Amino acid sequence: MLTARHFTITTLPTLGDLGTAPPMGLADLIEHVEENKQWREQIEAVVLLDDLFQRESYLAGEVDEVEPAVLSVQQAQGEAALPDWLFPEVDEERPSALETDILWENYFRYVHRLGRSKRSQFLVRWVEFEVALRNALATTRARRLGLDETAYLVAPDLAAVGEDLSAVLSEWEAATTPLVGLRVIIRARWAWLEQNDAWFSFSVDELLAYAARVMLIEQWRRTAEKEEGGA
């Protein structure tokens, strides 16, 4: 088993930095671990974040196409239902919550539970960072609009404690366009991965960090295409 895991990781193509062409797509990466059900489940949990980002952008009219790796195209376009665990029709505990916030809360809690059950330190820490970052952005945006900050928090109990996001938030607020702001956030996520990538551990955590990097490279590619298109 150890040899198989070592082979799975060492045969992955080398990744470049943001702005380089990804050597493999997210769907290709999932296929690469097809024979290891547990690894595939965890990679899909990470990659689903990108699918949900794309779904959100498509439904908001920000993009015309989606390239999901876990969801179907119909699900990513809002034309087919998401799994019940991810997007229930009613949340009795939060009747006034936005549907998108309920979706994200369910997603983060699912991945956090998965990370704990599989003993993946990376997956747990990654979720806690993502929640902290999302809530910090939501709080900053709500404060700017004079809205109740607490109404837009998602799974606050999962947020990483002591994560200093002040520099990222300042740069994001100073962004001249939404596209520039998005790149600020992508770079912040990339910087976090550089500190938490489990390099040379030959464990699932190293593979999950690789998946997260491919996801960010793909997201950066989309921002470049959008910039070239003048959107």
pTM here is 0.91
Is the alpha carbon torsion for 196, 200, 204, 210 positive or negative?
Answer: positive
Neighbours of 108 (CB within 10 A): 20
Q: Is the dihedral of CA 111, 112, 117, 123 positive or negative?
A: positive
User: 123: which 2 tokens?
Assistant: 């997956």
Distances (CA, A) of 29 to 8, 23, 102, 129, 147: 10, 10, 28, 23, 41
From residue 21, alpha-carbon distances to 16, 27, 207, 215 in Å are 7, 15, 19, 12
Q: Is 162 left (phi over 0), alpha (psi -120 to 50) or beta?
A: left
Of 124, 129, 115, 190, whose CA–CA distance to 159 is shortest? 129
Tell me which amino acid residue 204 is. V
Closest CA to 15 of 215, 214, 221: 214
Task: State pLDDT tens for residues 4-21.
Answer: 666 777 788 999 999 999
45 pLDDT exceeds 70? yes
Mean pLDDT comparison of 129-133, 140-144, 207-211, highest-scoring range: 129-133
* pLDDT score, position 22: 87
pLDDT at 159: 97
Q: What is the pLDDT of residues 48-95, one digit of tens each?
A: 999 999 999 999 999 999 999 999 999 999 999 998 888 765 555 555
